[in-house]
Chain A
Amino acid sequence: MLKVILSRFLQLVPVLWVLLTLTFFLTKVVPGGPFSAERQATPEVIAKLNEYYGLDKPVWEQYLAYLSKVIRFDFGPSYTYQSDSVTEVIARAFPISLQIGTLAFLIALLIGITAGTIAAVNKNKVWDYFPMSLAMVGICLPTFVMGPILALVFCLQLKVAPVSGWYGLDYVPLHPAVMPALTLGLFYAANIARLTRGGLLDVLNQDFIRTARAKGLPDHQIIFKHAMRGGLLPVVSFLGPAFAGLISGSFVVEKIFNVPGLGQEFIKSVFNRDYPLILGTVIFFGTLIVIFNLVSDVAQALLDPKSRRSP
């Protein structure tokens, strides 16, 4: 088991290298440059800037220089925030996205698994159709529709949460992370509910459930002890990447609620051709995705004894 985890960690290195190389050359292919938007700058100034950041050198030379810095965990300066390094930008924005993402994840798990279980147990009855149609609505409603609806209801009508910004306000009881988290959480909850229902129904049709019933186990033990483990396997494999996606921030939701999270920084860096920040965030996201995929694989192995021995 430990060996498997270790080898998967080593796989991280080539994956990130490919990701980094592809992104590096893609950013160079995109027309425009980090300073082309600044109209006032004279060609001489831009040439000076390019020289300062090494952008006048041949691309492969820039690539090697960048690579040698990345190996030392130096992601370079941000071109947009001239006083900050890429690491500082991420360190500032990530905690915000992490809080929203974690809260969203918990909301999604709680609502999703509960709704999915209720639906599976009441298959083809009202308590199956009702939560499942809600889940379908949840999947179909994009966050940029759900977000404003929630903002209208909770922020403008009920006035329980701030409409925008990341600074706690005295006259609203809820933390500014709550509304963005709810927006994201409901969307993921819908997916989790459908996966939970499907997984559980699959397991509930298995022979060993009949054995459990033949032993006279009460319904709650059949569901939670015998069916849940197997039923949650598809959910768990979805949760790893989902968690990575959630905590790395959603541009749309951060934009709606005007929260200075990592999702916004990432999209802005692309528009600004802020090469080091683009690469820095891409590497950061890549690492998160690989790590949480690994986490969900480990969790799966813990749930399923058969998969434990094979890598």
Chain B
Amino acid sequence: MPLLSVENLRTYFYTRAGVVRAVDDVSFLLEPGETLGIVGESGSGKSVTCYSILGLIPQPPGRIMGGRAIFDGVDLLGCDKERLRLIRGKRISMIFQDPMTSLNPYLRVSEQLIEPLLVHEKISRRKALDQAVTSLEEVGIQDAGRRLHFYPHEFSGGMRQRVMIAMALISRPEVLIADEPTTALDVTVQAQILELIKRRQRDLGTAVIFITHDLGVIAAFCREVYVMYAGRIVESAATGEIFARPMHPYNAALQQSIPALHQKGKPLFTIPGLPPDLSKPLPGCPFSPRCTYAEPKCREQAVTLQTMAERHQTACLRYQAGELNDLRAAVGV
């Protein structure tokens, strides 16, 4: 039985420029202890998907238009706020992209670190602080007893992200949502942080939803991948499958743009054009204006996700029709 099942989630933002369909009919399943990756470029709706699940979307302007997110029998989208609050930070926690701004600069780290415990568990301050020291040690912060009482600005970026991870895991949640946790960090620190999340996940048996735009991270980390584009899932499969047998031209193009897979001296590959404006209705496939394989029908027909192989879904009309076969050849690696 899945731990978390998101069905047909729609989150729209009502702005002056019109209704932005930031998340449009997204569904996915998360099994206990599993690692799931959501990949896509900026503005594809990856973060909004997860914020919606936890009720962190500012409303207004945001509004959840439909869908369900069943976690342990409770619909997180429909249940009352108090019930969701008690799940948030206790059973589902989150770490954010920018550790520089995600910790409160006015409060000591100790104060922020023990909050999930004080809110969700009947525990004395002293005990919570003891636990905080342990949790800092577990994320590799030395001299934790002293550093516990530092302010966030006294830590470096990588250290702050370690603090964030310690804070998210201190209540031993069943799900950890990691929203681009390494994007704002130095490249040298990125690998350490990823390794740390992986290790803590193994220790605690936490399921992880990993939001990223970095396919390399997905390859190293996730068992199951969902590729998002323009607020929709365009392809989903096990990680090996996603790389070995891409079934959507967008996924193929993404892989083609990984710099490390390039021959030296050749110009880097980029996908031409820009993601569509989500405040305008998109009749056909949202990727069709940028797609090298697009045909007139791609711009007109409504697209749906269809299962093509064991746990492998694609939203590409032409692939579904059997007109495209070896997208891997197009990647050229």
| Cβ B98 vs Cβ A215 within 8 A | no
* Distance between B136 CB and nearest chain A CB, rounded to angstroms: 16
Task: Judge if A230 is at the interface, Cβ distance under 8 Å.
Answer: yes
Q: Quick check: A207 and B167 within 8 Å, CB to CB?
A: no
Q: B119 contacts A216, CB within 8 Å?
A: yes
Q: Are B102 and A229 in contact (CB under 8 A)?
A: no
Some 25 contacts from A to B, beta carbons below 8 A apart, are: A206-B101, A207-B101, A207-B102, A208-B101, A208-B102, A208-B103, A210-B56, A210-B96, A211-B164, A214-B88, A214-B89, A214-B93, A215-B88, A215-B115, A216-B87, A216-B88, A217-B89, A226-B104, A226-B106, A229-B106, A229-B107, A303-B106, A305-B105, A305-B151, A306-B151
For the complex, count residues of A whose C-beta is within 8 A of B. Answer: 22
A69 within 8 A of B: no
Contact A217/B102 with A225-B107, A305-B153, A306-B151 known, Cβ cut-off 8 Å: no
How far apart are the CA atoms of A20 and B151 in the complex, in Å?
A: 43
Residues in B with CB closer than 8 Å to A226 are 104, 106-107
Contacts of A213 in B (CB 8 A): 56, 88
The yes or no answer to A304 lying at the interface (CB within 8 A) is: yes
Alpha-carbon distance A211/B120, docked complex (angstroms): 15
Quick check: B120 and A230 within 8 Å, CB to CB?
A: no
Task: Determine if B116 and A216 form an interchain contact, defined as CB atoms under 8 angstroms apart.
Answer: yes
Kindly provide the distance from the CB of B85 to the nearest chain A CB, expressed in whole angstroms: 5
Residue pair B116, A304 in contact (C-beta under 8 Å): no
Interface majority SS on A: helix, strand, loop or mixed? helix
A41 CA to B103 CA, complexed, in Å: 74
Q: Are A306 and B153 in contact (CB under 8 A)?
A: yes
Interface hits, B17-63 → A, CB 8 Å: 54, 56, 60
Nearest to A226 among chain B residues (CB) is: B104
A212 within 8 A of B: yes
Check if B102 sits within 8 Å of A215, measured CB to CB: no
Contact across chains for A230 and B106 when beta carbons are under 8 A apart: yes
Could you tell me which residues of chain A, from 215 to 248, have a CB within 8 Å of some CB in chain B? 215-218, 221, 225-226, 229-230
Pair B98/A207 contact, Cβ less than 8 Å: yes
Question: Which A residues are CB-close (under 8 A) to B106?
Answer: 226, 229-230, 303-305
Q: Are A207 and B119 in contact (CB under 8 A)?
A: no
- With a cutoff of 8 Å between Cβ atoms, the chain B residues found around residue A212 in the complex are 104, 115
Among B131-163, those with CB < 8 Å from A are 151, 153
Contact between chains at A218 and B96 (CB < 8 Å): no
Asked whether any CB of chain A lies closer than 8 Å to the CB of B312, the reply is: no
Q: In the assembled complex, how far is the CB of residue B25 from the closest CB belonging to chain A, in whole angstroms?
A: 25
Complex: how many Å from CA A179 to CA B56? 46
- Given A217-B115, A306-B151, 17 more A-B residue pairs with CB atoms under 8 Å apart are A208-B102, A210-B56, A210-B102, A211-B102, A214-B54, A214-B89, A214-B93, A215-B119, A216-B87, A216-B88, A216-B116, A217-B119, A218-B119, A226-B106, A226-B107, A304-B105, A305-B105
Structural contact, A208 and B88, CB atoms closer than 8 A? no
Inter-chain CA distance A216–B56, complex, in Å, is 10
What is the distance, in angstroms, from B192's C-beta to the closest C-beta of chain A?
A: 21
Within 8 A of B (CB), among A259-283: none
Interface residue? B271 (CB, 8 A):
no
Is the beta-carbon distance between B101 and A216 smaller than 8 angstroms? Answer: no
A43: min CB distance to chain B, Å: 68
CB of B282 within 8 Å of the partner chain:
no
Q: Which residues of B contact A124 (CB under 8 A)?
A: 60
Q: Is B215 interfacial (CB-CB < 8 Å)?
A: no
* B residues less than 8 Å from A225 (CB atoms): 107
B90 within 8 Å of A (CB atoms): yes
Chain A contacts with B in 164-207, Cβ cutoff 8 A: 206-207
Whether B85 and A216, one on each chain, are in contact in the complex, defined by CB atoms closer than 8 angstroms, is: yes
**Residue B94 at the chain A interface, CB threshold 8 Å:** yes
Interface centre among B56, B102, B104, by most chain A C-beta atoms within 10 angstroms, is B104
Task: Name the B residues within 8 Å of A217 (CB-CB).
Answer: 89, 115, 119
Across the interface, do A214 and B56 meet the contact criterion of CB distance under 8 Å? yes
Contacts of B153 in A (CB 8 A): 305-306
| Distance (whole angstroms) from the CB of A221 to the closest CB of chain B | 8
B220 on interface, CB distance cutoff 8 Å: no
Instruction: Say whether, besides A210-B56, A225-B107, A226-B107, A216 and B90 are in contact (CB < 8 Å).
Output: yes
Residue of A nearest to B91 (CB): A216
- In the assembled complex, the Cα of A171 lies from the Cα of B23 at a distance in Å of 69
A215 pairs with B167, CB closer than 8 A: yes
Which residues in A have their C-beta under 8 angstroms from that of B54?
Answer: 214
Asked if B74 is at the interface of the complex by the 8 Å CB criterion, the answer is: no
